[in-house]
Amino acid sequence: MTVRHDRADGMRRRHFLTNAALGGATIIGATALGGLDAEAAFAAEPSLDPAIAKSTFVEGRITGMTGSILEVAGSNGGHSRVQMTNVTSVWKVRATTAEVIEVGDGLYARGVKMPDGTVAADAVWVNIVNLDTQIRGIAKNRLHLAHGQHELVGHVAPDASASYAGRALTSDLSRLRIGQSAQVLGAWRPSDNSVDVVRISVGH
């Protein structure tokens, strides 16, 4: 794909996203607009879109929802309003829809700032976590993990995958061992402070 094509695709994406925020776009699926994979939330490059010089990011806890607007209290004490559109990609353990979002959830969103200060989101990751841990115990369908001074339970998702020493992802989790350092990508459960393990990397 050429730079020209990249720019054209980016302009279309921005145009659709802006229209969607204004209620006009109805024709494209959410994931057509950009990366939804959980790792995209932590990508080194801040924007996947060359037409958007500077994407806006929002993080924090959802304190309220009014229609398609999410009120978000940032961890730095700030407040943001996130506009969900009919093209916003939503991740909560896996690709899903905005109906699963709840007050109290954690949020990480990427989008475009609108003239009224709201952020029209092209991608929202709900309760996503990326933790450096140590495996303290292994049981059926769950891991016991240490994260800093905290112990937590990791519920292993049915479609969880693992990477060993930087190799390709596999569904084989049998090579996990107690005592290994592990990077866990998953989703936090606010109700009991555990996590759903989506991806685990050891020996990296």
- Here the contacts of 71-80 (C-beta below 8 Å, separation 24 or greater) are 72/107, 72/109, 80/119
Give the mean pLDDT of 145-166: 92
Residue-wise pLDDT for 44-78, tens only, equals 444 445 444 567 889 899 999 999 999 999 988 99
Read off the pTM: 0.74
End-to-end CA distance of the chain: 31
* pLDDT surpasses 90 at 102: yes
What integer pLDDT is reported at residue 30 of this predicted model?
A: 37
Label residue 38 by pLDDT band (50, 70, 90): low
Ranking 19-33, 79-93, 102-116, 185-199 by mean pLDDT, the lowest is 19-33
| DSSP codes, 144-164 | EEEETTEEEEEEEEEEEEEEE
Q: Name beta bridge partners: 111.
A: 56, 121
C-alpha span between 33 and 123 (Å, rounded): 9
Residue 13 tokens read as 């994406």
